[in-house]
């Protein structure tokens, strides 16, 4: 329903019909600027319009991790901790190791002096190393190509 255009003060309503003259369209430009967190903005504005520039970041994919150099998490022998404590610590900190694999790593560490716990990318190796060190174990990381001796470890 719309008000008849014949008289502006008229309050009579006409029936719905297709009008030959379309209603005028009005564009309103706002001067209010909205910005989202973490986005940069261009200071130049024209007629209340603002350009927002988003910065793209590249994320690391699984292919990038495969290209990345592998690192070993190395457990060193100490005469302080019991086999059971080391087995529990290894199984707790490295979710892919079961108790049997942890026991084999303990036996090799005790006999040889050091053993590879796992081979993985550097960031993950650092996390495993810190987790095991928090448990009180003597652990280090080493690039895979520089490592001499020890067993192959439980790959992730």
For the structural domain made of 68-146, what CATH number should be given? 3.30.1390.10
| Predicted local distance difference test score (pLDDT) of residue 100 | 96
pTM of the model: 0.54
pLDDT in tens, 99-116: 999 999 999 999 999 999
**For residue 125, what are the CA distances in angstroms to 13, 26, 29, 53, 122?**
78, 62, 55, 37, 5
Average pLDDT over residues 140-144: 92
What is the C-alpha separation between 13 and 5, in angstroms, rounded? 10
Domain ranges of the chain: 68-146
CA angle 110, 112, 133 (to 5 degrees): 55
Q: What is the DSSP string of 108-130?
A: HHHHHSEEEEEEEEHHHHHHHHH
10 confidence band (pLDDT: 50, 70, 90): very low
- pLDDT: is 26 or 126 the higher one? 126
């Amino acid at each position: 329903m719309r008000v008849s255009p014949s008289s502006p003060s008229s309050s009579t309503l006409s029936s719905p019909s297709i009008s030959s003259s379309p209603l005028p369209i009005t564009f309103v430009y706002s001067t209010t600027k909205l910005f989202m967190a973490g986005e940069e903005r261009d200071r130049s504005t024209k007629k209340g319009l603002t350009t927002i520039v988003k910065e793209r970041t590249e994320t690391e994919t699984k292919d990038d991790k495969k290209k990345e150099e592998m690192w070993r998490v190395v457990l060193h022998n100490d005469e302080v901790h019991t086999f059971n404590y080391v087995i529990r610590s290894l199984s707790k900190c490295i979710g892919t190791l079961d108790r049997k694999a942890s026991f084999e790593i303990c036996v090799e560490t005790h006999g040889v002096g050091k053993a590879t716990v796992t081979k993985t990318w550097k960031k993950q190796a650092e996390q495993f190393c810190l987790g095991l060190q928090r448990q009180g174990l003597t652990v280090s990381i080493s690039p895979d190509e520089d490592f001499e001796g020890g067993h192959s470890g439980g790959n992730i």
